[in-house]
Amino acid sequence: MDIQQTLIPGADVFSADGEKLGTMVSASGAYIVVEKGFFLPKDYYIPVGAITETNENAVYLSVTKDEALDQHWDRLPEDSGQPVGD
């Protein structure tokens, strides 16, 4: 099944080290938007290539919380327009 079909807004997003990073609010073809929360100081635009698994309630990433924070994913990708669902 295509990963895009299992990306449901409202799903919790977890890092590879098991930390809940926030809640997915929307998705585009290239990335998901995770709204700011306890660990994320602002919204993050996480590429779908960093997703290892999804289900209707959760999205699991291949990177740890610290790795996610160091990726500069807090900037809207220039080559992607606005995410679907905003």
Q: Which residue has the higher pLDDT, 75 or 37?
A: 75
Measured at the CA of 62, the angle between CA 69 and CA 31, to 5 degrees, comes to 70
Task: Give one word for 18, left, alpha or beta, with left for phi > 0 and alpha for psi -120 to 50.
Answer: left
Q: Where are the domains of the chain?
A: 3-69
> Mean pLDDT, the chain, as a whole number?
86
Q: Which amino acid is at 21?
A: L
Query: In angstroms, rounded to a whole number, what is the distance separating the alpha carbons of residues 85 and 16?
Result: 26
pLDDT per position as a tens digit, 23-55: 999 998 899 999 977 667 789 999 999 999 999
Report how far residue 59's alpha carbon sits from residue 54's, in angstroms, rounded to the nearest whole number.
4
Helices (H), the chain: 65-69
The CATH class for the domain spanning 3-69 reads alpha beta
pLDDT of 76 strictly over 50:
yes
